[in-house]
Structures are given as C-alpha cells and as structure tokens.
Amino acid sequence: MSDLKESTISTAVVYKGDFLDVRRDEVLLPNG
C-alpha cells in the first residue's frame, strides 16, 4: 500500500451525541 498524504480542506460536524460524533471531512489527495 502506498503512502497517502491528505490535506484537510474542511470539516463539518454532522451529528454530535453522547456516545458518537459524526464528522464529514473534505480532503485533497495528491492525485487530485
């Protein structure tokens, strides 16, 4: 498996609960 470098563009909290937090991250990969 190759090394993947990800750059985070944005992060949004979709759901925040007592037990579980769900986040949606938008990332930029080296190949576009």
Ordered by start, the domain boundaries in the chain are: 1-32
Of 4, 7, 3, nearest to 25 (Cα)?
A: 7
d(Cα 17, Cα 4) in Å, to the nearest integer?
30
Measured between alpha carbons, how far apart are the two ends of the chain, in Å?
18
d(Cα 32, Cα 22) in Å, to the nearest integer?
25
Residue 3: predicted pLDDT: 72
pLDDT tens digit sequence for 21-31: 999 999 998 87
Percent of the chain with pLDDT over 90: 69
Q: What's the pTM value of the predicted model, to 2 decimals?
A: 0.56
